[in-house]
A and B are shown apart, each in its own frame.
Chain A
Amino acid sequence: MSIGSLIATGFSTVLTPTGIFLMFVGVAVGIVFGALPGLSATMAIALFLPVTYAMASADAMTLLMALFIGAISGGLISAILLRIPGTPSSVATCFDGHPLVAKGQAAKALGVGVVFSFLGTIFSTILLMFLSPQIAKVAINFGPYEFFSIAIFSLTMIATLSSGNMVKGIIAGVVGFMFSTVGTDSIESVQRFTFNSTDLKGGFDMLAVMVGLFAVGEIIAAAETSHHKNEEVVTQPSMKGIKGFGFTMKEFWSQGWNAVRSAFIGMGIGILPGIGGGTSNMLAYTVAKNSDKHPEEFGTGRIDGVVASETANNATIGGAMVPLLTLGIPGDTTTAMLLGALTLHNLTPGPLLFENQAPVVYGIFAAMLISSVIMLFMEFFGLRVFVKLLSIPKYILLPCIFVLCTIGAYNLKNNMSQVIACILFGLIGFAFKKFEIPSTPFILGFILGPLAEQNYRRGLMRTSGNFVPFLTSPISAVFLGIALVVILLAATKPLRQKRKAARQAAK
């Protein structure tokens, strides 16, 4: 099939009455989750997974993609109006977004944020549509060596880059990997660490682990601060005398280069595992600031700052979908959730998905495009409603979310075993927070661990115990090489900093 007809198939899969309804719901709920500080895109998808159990796979993915796009963009509302980023993806939006509000230009700040969120998503989705089939074509020839190396590469990137402390990052990854070894081994079909319990035979369920770690852990952590008084004052933006999206065409065109550059930064960072929207918005902001003629004006309310941050974080969505769909490798926790969703619907992400399930894949692309259009209008015209929702107190919200988590976990096996697992992982998530261990490497260790292990063992069985082919297969060698360099760079960082300090002191 030509790409044109595939795209047409995609749109026709999504543009059904159910599909359109699901996208509206998904985008609206996503924006709320993004806007409320403490709730994230990952949590939105986790909570809505049980809703999708009974749906057709195309409908399910449509809903989840709409949630994803809404949630990443929704963060800008609280970033601009409250100066609290709704999600880590919109941290840099606060820097210039809030000063604009202080200057009385709230509508302009929001308008710019919404429009460039939209453009960022569209840009990255279109790139994704043309890039991923090509990557899938290459990846279809990958064997155990390549998959092992890509898994190890991704794990290394995540463990070293996702936190300030490399040792803790790697520990989190290794512990996650260890949890994945519980259950029946798929090569030798023997029991590992099951202690003869039938509930453990199938291993820990990916969704129970993620819901526990991110949602339940978050709720327990919120219990600590829920008694503290922090009244947030929400400024209702004045819409009087605002035409269109609150900014002029001249202002729009002046952001052209900034937006394109930020979109490429966001897309590139999204493709790389381990560094998601949380980093891309900061990086794009810094680049925009440093390449500007008046960097000192940043932070005082320049729309350039909002444009850079919001274009980049939404462009990261398209980027993050590339390794997920083509290789089955999630780069962050949100895409890990989506991987869980795909598996739940018997879709195995990877190069074969493009051959076997092309309508679903192109349906996902179409859902991303249409959802961003819905997001554009909903966020702008429904803004007042979303701002109202920001004032729902957390002590009501969190218990309700916990109930939804419980339903989701219960429905995995229709018994209590996964609910109990969910709470246990919630405790682990809380302990991780207290000991400052990042939880993203844990999740990816848990997901990528089996991929690394099985391909390692299959590879060795193929070569009767010889490891050399892992190093001589070119693609595998490149990935392992980069992983090694990343580890060495991260490990010697303190040493290099010391030397630099010594040199500066000598001067």
Chain B
Amino acid sequence: MSKQKLSFQKCKDLILGCVLLALSIAYTILARQIKTRPKMVPSYANSQIIPTLLGILLAILSVCLIVQGIRKLKADGDVESKKMSRVDLLSIVLTFAAMCVYILILPTLGFMLSTMIFLFAQITILAPKEKRNYLLFAIIAVVFTIIVFIAFRIGLSQMLPRGPLEALVGY
């Protein structure tokens, strides 16, 4: 083996294989604990049978993946390592955080208010620095929210989470 640093790219399959193996064991154990009704359905067709088979199958496949992963590690050669820059990682984390905050505030702030806040924040997170035009983003956030609200709540009369702004317009 070369003294190359172990990159994520190189031990990806190995990591994935180990995680899946652990999951398959947990799944199989849970599958064996499913309550069955032996009087109603014979054991060869009960609700445990397929999950058990799936658990075993995934365990076998994970072992295959681990073997593949080890082979890959042993095989020398450059794996093109596309290193994730810090900005990229930050924008993924922020995007995910924005989504989570959005669904947390939806039930209390209502659809309109939370969507406007979310859109503004998310567009700002994704936009390249030199293209940040906050006024434009705010206009897009407000206009898009209103259009969607009119289309879905009023036009298609579907339910949307209610909040202060919805109460204000009476929907």
Contact = CB atoms under 8 A, between A and B. Distances in A.
**Interface range for B:** 35 or more
Contacts of B159: 410-411, 414
Q: Name A's interface SS.
A: helix
A193 B50 CA distance: 13
A181 interface: yes
Given A226-B91, A227-B88, A411-B159, A404 B54 contact: no
B148 A188 contact: no
Most B C-beta atoms less than 10 A away, residue of A193, A229, A464: A193
Given A178-B54, A223-B125, A461 B99 contact: no
Interface stretch (B73-81, B126-134, B163-171): B126-134
Most B-side CB within 10 Å, residue of A50, A170, A178, A416:
A178
A439 interface: no
A229 B34 contact: no
Contacts of A232: none
A5 to B, nearest CB: 34
Contact of A396 (B57, B68, B88, B123): B123
A406 B103 contact: yes
Contact of B123 (A175, A395, A419): A395
Interface residues of A, number: 63
Contacts of B34: 185, 190-193
A352 to B, nearest CB: 24
B92 interface: yes
Interface in A401-456: 402-404, 406-407, 410-411, 414, 416, 419-420, 423, 426-427, 430, 435-437, 453, 456
Which residue, of A167, A430, A435, has the highest number of chain B Cβ atoms within 10 A?
A167
A426 B98 CA distance: 14
Contacts of A177: 54
A400 B119 contact: yes
B58 A174 contact: yes
> Which 5 pairs between the two chains have the least Cβ-Cβ distance?
A395-B126, A399-B122, A223-B95, A457-B45, A185-B47
Given A171-B65, A461-B42, 14 more contacts: A171-B58, A178-B27, A181-B51, A190-B37, A192-B31, A193-B31, A224-B88, A226-B91, A400-B144, A406-B106, A407-B152, A453-B50, A458-B45, A465-B42
9 contacts: A53-B158, A188-B46, A223-B94, A226-B128, A400-B144, A416-B161, A426-B99, A464-B42, A465-B44
Interface of B: 12, 16, 20, 27, 30-31, 34-37, 40-42, 44-47, 49-51, 54-55, 57-58, 61-62, 64-65, 68, 84, 87-88, 91-92, 94-96, 99-100, 102-103, 106-107, 115, 118-119, 122-123, 125-129, 131, 137, 140, 144-145, 148, 152, 156-161
Interface of A: 50-51, 53-54, 167-168, 170-171, 174-175, 177-178, 181, 185, 187-188, 190-193, 216, 219-220, 222-227, 229, 393-396, 398-400, 402-404, 406-407, 410-411, 414, 416, 419-420, 423, 426-427, 430, 435-437, 453, 456-458, 460-461, 464-465
